[in-house]
Structure formats: C-alpha cells, structure tokens
Amino acid sequence: MSTSTLELATASLPARPGAPFALRLGRYPRILVGAGFILLLSLAALLAPVLAPYNPVDTHPALAYRPPGAAFLLGTDNLGRDVISRVIWGARVSLQVGFISVTIGLVVGATLGILAGYRGGWTDTLLMRFIDALLAFPAILLAIAITSALGPKLENAVIAIGVVNIPIFARLARGQVLQVRGAEYVQAARVAGGRAWRIVFRHVVPNIANPLIVQATLTIALAILAEATLSFLGLGTQPPTPSWGFDLNVARGYLVNNFWWMAIGPGTAILLTVMCFNFLGDAIRDALDPRLRQR
Amino acid sequence: MTTYILRRLALMLPVAVMVTIIVFVLIRLTPGDPALAYLGEEASPESVVAFRHQLGLDQPLPVQYLVYLGNLLHGNLGFSIKSHEPVLQAILDRFPATLELGFASLVFALAVALPAGIISAVRKDSATGLVAGALPLFGVSLPNFFLGILLILVFGLYLRLLPPGGFTSFPDDPLDNLRHLVLPAISLGTVNAAISLRLMRSSLLETLAQDYVRTARAKGLAARRVLTRHALRNALIPVATVVGIQVGLVLEGAFVTETIFAWPGIGRLAVNGIFQRDYPVVQGAVLFAALVFMFASLLVDILYVYLDPRISYS
C-alpha cells in the first residue's frame, strides 16, 4: 500500500474560496477524465442485463471454444458461454467488491484510528500494535489466510479485503486526529463540557473526512485487484457467477489448446478497470501535491 | 547503530506476537475439527480424543494459544493434513526456489526501472520520455496472473522461445534453470519495475532541480557527468528504500506466479494447500511470509543508514 498516497491524501484540494465544486474540479481535467471512465464502467455494470448479448451463466456445450467472430465478439468459453457477456456481468462483482470492501476498511479503520488518536495512552498503543501486526502481512496473503479460514465464497472475500484495508484508514485517521485534537476549536468544545463522542462526531470527523475519502478512491483499485486474485485462486467468487479472476483461472487450463480468447476478455477487463482507478488516484494525488503538478 | 537495531528488534517483538495471535485466531476460525481433518472422517472416537489431547485442543483457548506459541518457538508449524509432512519442513524445502524467483524478479525490476526512469526524467518532454513516464500506470495495473498468461501464450506457446512452465534445479542444469526462470521473473517483477520506475523518475526530477546540480552545470560539467556523478547518487536513495515494500509484493505475487508457471516454491505449496483444503500449510506459509517480510523491512531500514549518511539513528 503506497505510503506516498497515504501522505498525499492528507492534504486537501487547493481551492479558491467560493468557487463551485464542479468549477474547481474543472481545473484538473485528468480527474474528470478518470472519473468519466469510472462512470462509464459503472454504467456498463449497471446496464449489464441490457448490454450483454447473451445470458452469462447458461451453458451450451455445442457452442464451446468458439473463437471471436460476429456471433460471439470475444468467443465462447469451455462451457459455450459468451465471453463478452461474462466480462460485462463480471464488472458488477468487481465494482461491488471494490466499493463494499473499501467501505468496510474505511468505517472500521477510521473508527479504530479515531479511537486511538483521540483517547491516546494504552488504547492507542494496543490498537496501533494490532494495526502494525495487520501491516506486517503482505496484503494479499492476509486476505488469502482470512478467506481460507472463513471458507471460499464471495462474501468472505469481501470481508477479507475489507480487513486488509483497515490499517490504511486506521493509520491515516489516527494521524489526522492527532493534528486536529490539539486544535483550538476542539479544546474549546472540551472546555465547554462537551461529551467525547459528541466532540468526535461534531468537530473531529468533519475535519478529517476529506483525506479519508480521497484515500478510499485510491484503495478501490487495490481492492478490485485483490478480488480478482482471490477469485483466480478459487477463494472469491464461486461459479457460475461471472468473475474476471475466476474466468482467467479457467482460461489458464486451456492455454495449451490455444484458446487464448478465453483469457484476453477477463484479463483486459481487470487491467482497464484497475488502470482507470489508478489513473483517477494519480490525478487526485498530483492535484494535491503542488510539486507533482509542476511536472 | 547497535542501539537502533536492538530497539527495532524490541519493537518487532510485540508485533510478531500479535501476528501469531492473528494466525492462531484464523486457524481456530477454520471450519471443521482439525483432528477429523487430519485423521479422516472414519477415525475412531478414541483416536480423535487422543489426537485432540496431543494437539492441546481440549484446553481453554488461551492455553491453546500458549501451546501454539510454544510449538512455533520450537519450529513446529503443525503438520500437513494431506501429506502429514511437518509444515516447516515443507516450507524450508521450497524456500530456495521462491528465493531464487524473488531475487531474479527484483533484478529484472531494477534492470528495467533504472534506465527507463533515467530516460523518462532526463528526456521528460520527448516521446520516449512520455512513454517511459506512462509505463508505471500500466505496470501497476497489470495483474501478474494475466501478465503470466500473456507471457506463456506469446513466448512459451506461440514463439516457443522459452518453456511455458516447470523447473530445473540450478545444480542439475544451470542453463535450463535460467531458461525456466525468465518468464516467471518478468511476470513477478513487472509491478516492482513499475513502482521503481515511477520513484526513479520523480526522485531524479527532484534532484535535477536542486541547487548543487545547477552549480555543477554552471561549472561547465558535461551533462552526462552531472547526471552520473551528482544527481543519480542521491536520486537512487528513495528507490532503495522501497525494496522492503517490494519484498512484500514479491512474496504475495509468488503465490500466483508460482502456480501459473508450476514453480515449486512456497507460493505454489500454499495455493495447492488452498485447493486441497490443507489449511495448516496455507496458514504456516502465510505466517512464514509475514515473518520474512518483517525481517526484510528491518534489514532495509538498517541498510538505509549506510546508503544515506545524512540519516543517523543514534
């Protein structure tokens, strides 16, 4: 998980006071392009029932292994299912897992980070050692260990990827709270006798939300890649649900038969989706860092 | 320096204990009775009870954890459900293959990233520079399992230049070993190449804008000399510092890459464990990888001090 993105996410978008949000974004065309691509992708996933030419699950053994052509744009797989239809439906799984697992990581991680940063002392030490321990695992390996313990299915993969995301948000939130905790408005709220939870929700959370949201957009690419990896290993989405990672694993078994089209569709879909989110992440990061903006 | 290393080791200890707690909890979360999994469904109740007692599974959870920790300290990571082989032995047998692949992938990553990073920074406005600058986005987005499949298709099956998978040990046939190593090393090293390239580019751009580089240029030094004698030395430091992170990426990438290329390392051992529901092997491999990752990060931190004399940990 890149430290640089963590650090850069702690800045906030340079803004002209009073300028409408959309106008401010207009100064960063790369953000608009990246967001546009992701919007298109989300629309494709949403409109899968309309866009996909065939049912992605129905098997037709007589139509198996058809190369790309007019009837099947990306060919058919070993069970005679249309590859492009499965690719379009597969976008649903990938995006859902990306968004849900990042939300889990964000909510749990930010809560732990805020608790550690605001309470300090032993709470901070204990929670941060736990977070350090999670960070000690290479991310995908921890997800593999969790999914293999909970059982191979999509819901467990979502939980595993969410858990892997927790330390990213916990560290970021803690760092932000440490900065905000000493601010005069928080001190004033304390002196005025405000309860801790009320101070946190009214004064702390709104002031640390922006960097967390920025980090969340950056983490989605990693979550999608993680889901594809888990499904490739048979630990994520289970058949017959269309899944890019799982379909690639099936395609791997047919490489020697030269049925290359079974791999190209889902593989390219993962590549383009992850690239879109990384592009958007890079664009936001560059916009936040004045040094990078000049390059 | 010694104090720093000792302090880092002392800080690592609670984290390592926490890591073992996480793995222990995951083992206990795994569905099914480990005794039945090991002995088979037809095992007699007496042998199951005896086996549970032998593993300490009839003890309260905290005691079970202490037994687990004690076993770990004695190098006992449990036994494979399928082969009944000690997990640590299985891991150690396969570690050299993973080490070789990981090392080759890091060499590949640097061999690509350093020249491409230098070109993209020095000629940042030329077409070559722009292409080299855009490569990292592509490299970090390309899943290593898809890249592996593409490499097998093109170089292994279509052009037939290199073997599409398999392994020959180095002492048996060094040349064949290297031929088998090329494709998996590229597949595993590409993401690290992308990360290093991006870092190399931004670090060199930053260094080239420094006053001392301007002074060197003003003295009339040739551009190549300014680059090699003054800029590169400092620009390389940030690239070296991410080696710790890259070791983590190599370890997790090895799980998939070794499976695709039938490379007999820890990753393939663990993935076979996943498919065969041999969870002690999976969890042992993950714990082992986490500990290797922690030590690699520590080593990189220590090396960093030697690389950059401006940093002191006194």
The pLDDT tens digits of the residues spanning B16-70 come to 898 899 988 888 887 777 778 778 878 888 888 888 887 777 889 899 899 889 9
Q: Which of B44, B73, B102 is the last residue of a domain?
A: B73
Distance from chain centroid for Cα A19: 30
Distance in angstroms (rounded) separating the CA atoms of residues B120 and B129: 4
Domain ranges of chain A: 91-295
Nearest CB to B289; choose among A141, A228, A235: A141
Tell me which H or E stretch contains B3.
helix B2-29
The total of other beta-carbon atoms located within 10 Å of residue B204's CB is 25
Q: Judge if B52 and B165 occupy the same domain.
A: no
Distance in angstroms (rounded) separating the CA atoms of residues B97 and A114: 43
If you count them, how many residues does chain B have? Answer: 314
Q: Enumerate residues 6+ apart whose C-beta is below 8 A from B196.
A: B109, B110, B113, B114, B117, B239, B242, B246
Residues of A in contact with B149 (CB under 8 A): 248, 251-252, 255, 263, 267
Q: Judge if B196 and B240 occupy the same domain.
A: yes
Nearest CB to B137; choose among A130, A141, A279: A279
Residues of A in contact with B279 (CB under 8 A): 148-149
Q: What is the mean pLDDT of chain A?
A: 87
The total of other beta-carbon atoms located within 10 Å of residue B240's CB is 17
Closest CA to A131 of A150, A108, A151: A108
pLDDT for the residue B28: 81
If you count them, how many residues does chain A have? Answer: 295
Strand, coil or helix: B79: strand
- Probe site for chain B from A141, A225, A261 (most B CB atoms < 10 A): A141
Residues of A in contact with B249 (CB under 8 A): 138
The enclosing domain of B264 has a CATH number of 1.10.3720.10
pLDDT tops 60 at residue A174: yes
B293 contacts A136? CB cut-off 8 A = yes
Residues of A in contact with B19 (CB under 8 A): 133, 136-137
Nearest CB to A145; choose among B14, B18, B282: B282
Q: For chain A, state the CA radius of gyration.
A: 22
A7 pLDDT band (50/70/90 cuts)?
very low
Q: Does residue B7 belong to any structural domain of this protein? A: no
Q: Which domain holds residue B51?
A: 20-73
CATH number of A91-295: 3.30.70.20, 1.10.3720.10, 2.30.140.10, 3.50.50.60? 1.10.3720.10
Q: Enumerate residues 6+ apart whose C-beta is below 8 A from B255.
A: A140, A141, A144, A233, B267, B268, B270, B271
Q: Which of B73, B105, B134 is the last residue of a domain?
A: B73
**Chain A 152-181, residues with CB within 8 Å of chain B CB atoms:** 152
**A191: distance to nearest CA of chain B, Å?**
36
Q: For residue B264, give both structure tokens.
A: 């007999």
B313 pLDDT band (50/70/90 cuts)?
low
Helices (H) and strands (E) in chain B, counts: 14, 0
Q: Judge if B61 and B197 occupy the same domain.
A: no
Q: Judge if B97 and B57 occupy the same domain.
A: no
Residues of B in contact with A221 (CB under 8 A): 141
Q: Does residue B84 belong to any structural domain of this protein? A: no
> Tokens 């000493």 map to which residue?
A182
Q: Judge if B201 and B67 occupy the same domain.
A: no
A140 contacts B289? CB cut-off 8 A = no
B67 against B167, higher pLDDT: B167
Distance in angstroms (rounded) separating the CA atoms of residues B190 and B196: 10
**Chain A 234-263, residues with CB within 8 Å of chain B CB atoms:** 234-235, 245, 248-249, 251-252, 255-256, 258, 260, 263
DSSP code, position B81: T
How many independent structural domains does chain B possess? 2
**Each residue's pLDDT tens digit, A224-279:** 999 999 999 989 999 999 999 999 999 999 999 999 999 999 999 999 999 999 88
B223 pLDDT band (50/70/90 cuts)?
confident
Q: Does residue B102 belong to any structural domain of this protein? A: yes
B143 contacts A228? CB cut-off 8 A = yes
Contact B165, B182 (CB under 8 A): no
**B23 — phi, psi (to 5°)?**
-65, -40
Q: Does residue B8 belong to any structural domain of this protein? A: no
Q: Judge if B177 and B47 occupy the same domain.
A: no
Q: Judge if B137 and B244 occupy the same domain.
A: yes
pLDDT for the residue A138: 87
Q: Judge if B68 and B101 occupy the same domain.
A: no
B310 pLDDT band (50/70/90 cuts)?
low
Q: Enumerate residues 6+ apart whose C-beta is below 8 A from A40.
A: none
Q: Judge if B24 and B173 occupy the same domain.
A: no
Q: Which ipTM score applies to this complex?
A: 0.86
pLDDT tops 70 at residue B134: yes
**Each residue's pLDDT tens digit, B1-13:** 788 788 888 888 8
Residues of A in contact with B124 (CB under 8 A): 295
Q: Does A271 touch chain B (CB under 8 A)?
A: yes
Q: Does A294 touch chain B (CB under 8 A)?
A: no
Q: Does residue B10 belong to any structural domain of this protein? A: no
Counting one residue from chain A and one from chain B, the pairs whose CB atoms sit within 8 A come to 138
A146 contacts B26? CB cut-off 8 A = yes
pLDDT for the residue A25: 65
Q: Does residue B4 belong to any structural domain of this protein? A: no
**Each residue's pLDDT tens digit, A42-65:** 999 999 999 999 999 999 999 999
Tell me which H or E stretch contains B199.
helix B174-208
